[in-house]
Amino acid sequence: MKYSQIFKNPVTRGLTTIQFLSYFGTVFSHVAIASLLVKLGAGADMIAMIFIAILLPSLVLAPINGYIIDRFEFKKLILVLLVIETSMTICFMMVDSLEYIWLLWTFLFIRSIAGTIIFTAEMSYLPKVISGEMLKEANEVHSIIWSSTFAFGMALGGLSTYYFGYIGTFMIDFSFYVIAFFVMLKLPIEIIRNKAQSAWSATKEVFGYIKTNPKIVHIIILHSSVGLTVFDTIVTLLAKQNYKYIIAVPLAIGWINFSRALALMIGPFVFGKYVKMNNLWAVMIFQGVTIIIWAYLQYDFHLSLIAMFFVGLFTTSIWSFTYYMLQQNTDDEYLGRVISYNDMIFMAVSVGMTYAIGKMASAGAALSHISMMIGAIFFLAAFYAFILRDKIATDTKKYN
């Protein structure tokens, strides 16, 4: 099997299991949170702000995230962060009215801080213990895990919310983090000592490195285009405004996201090996076209389900390929900090788009028009990738 090396290695197998449990836990409660907002009568602005709480930590943490990762022992850091995620998930049960929405925002923000550091720490740790084709496959496995957990987490989270309510869903969610904690506790992690630096010194050094390696900036910009596909607010509002007459809101949110995530999971298997720097622009054009088609079909729940599947087909391939490019073109010494700033830009795009969607929807803009605008922006990203197609090599001599 293509990914057999990843699962034979006890470290990558264990980290993959933790990724699965952590992501599944995050997504599983996602539908419950969105449905709770609709039930409590939250407006478009408030819904957008809640989703911003999930995205914002990567933006806020960027200046110190790499420093935190380099400063603390990997295993102990992940264990502490998993405890934080577990605690915040339990706290979700305290919110039962709009009066306490600020508490929900706070709990989500803190849990997302922990999740952000875990993600960056794992993506920084992997290149230190594996390399070459195995590293590329690890990235693909990571993206497939994210897609599969997003798919089945959304679908099962919607069913759980419908049948067991918000409290029951949050309790199930809590159990995923507990299991992840014990998996990490037993994992034989190699201790890697990083160079001790002050946060200011580390920041100056990495900016100097990025300045002398402009191709890193180009890759970060290309990667950030995936941040445009934050459709959570749009999907929640579609369920609230249109689909609630056809299907229960939790099920509508769950199935729409399941359709997209199923494609996100299938995409790398079918198209991943064909995505290269010289054809990335064509992939981005396809992404923009499918988003525009989805925008035209949003009025109908079933057509929207089908269209959303095609929206997701290439998204994961763009994400995993550009992430691989960043890892290949960055020296190990700077990788943690570069990934941190890459995530900052990615989340800045996601937060900005989420905020803009909330404002435009509140101002009366049609959700289909907002979606078309997002699709059109991908054409600009495709033009940028077309210009860079010969300036950034798909493979570097780093691991050859």
Which of 347, 368, 388, 375 lies closest to 65 in space, CA to CA?
A: 347
Is residue 158 scored above 90 in pLDDT?
no
Domain contains 400? no
Domain that holds residue 35: 4-189+197-388
CA 392 to mean position of chain CA atoms: 24
d(CA 60, CA 343): 10
- Between 158 and 223, residue with greater pLDDT: 223
Is residue 1 scored above 70 in pLDDT?
no
The total of structural domains in the chain comes to 1
Domain contains 46? yes
pLDDT interval class at 181 (50, 70, 90): very high
| pLDDT tens by residue, 345-374 | 888 888 889 889 989 998 889 999 999 999
- Between 133 and 83, residue with greater pLDDT: 83
The pair of three-digit structure tokens given for residue 20, joined into one six-digit string: 């699965």
Domain contains 140? yes
Is residue 397 scored above 50 in pLDDT?
no
* pLDDT of the residue at 193: 57
Domain contains 395? no
Is residue 400 scored above 50 in pLDDT?
no
| pLDDT tens by residue, 299-342 | 899 999 999 999 988 887 888 788 888 878 888 777 767 877 88
* pLDDT of the residue at 300: 92
Measured from the Cβ of residue 387, the count of other Cβ atoms closer than 10 Å reads 11
Query: What amino acid is encoded at 6 in this protein?
Result: I
Domain contains 398? no
DSSP per-residue letters across 330-382: S-HHHHHHHHHHHHHHHHHHHHHHHHHHHHHHHTT--HHHHHHHHHHHHHHHH
| pLDDT tens by residue, 36-63 | 888 888 887 888 888 788 778 767 776 6
Whether the Cβ atoms of residue 377 and residue 95 lie closer than 8 Å to each other: no
* pLDDT of the residue at 195: 56
Q: Tokens 């390929």 map to which residue? A: 321
pLDDT interval class at 396 (50, 70, 90): very low
CATH code at position 296: 1.20.1250.20
d(CA 115, CA 118): 5
Report percent pLDDT > 90 for the chain.
23
* pLDDT of the residue at 383: 94
* pLDDT of the residue at 292: 96
d(CA 29, CA 136): 30
Domain contains 136? yes
* pLDDT of the residue at 371: 95
Task: Using alpha carbons only, give the angle 135, 114, 169 rounded to the nearest 5 degrees.
Answer: 105
- The residue-averaged pLDDT of 189-208 equals 67
Domain contains 377? yes
Is residue 295 scored above 90 in pLDDT?
yes
What is the residue-averaged pLDDT of the chain? 83
Alpha helices, H only, 197-331: 199-211, 214-224, 232-241, 249-271, 280-297, 301-312, 315-328
pLDDT interval class at 268 (50, 70, 90): confident
Taking the whole predicted model, whether its pTM rises above 0.75 is answered as no
* pLDDT of the residue at 328: 81
Domain contains 286? yes
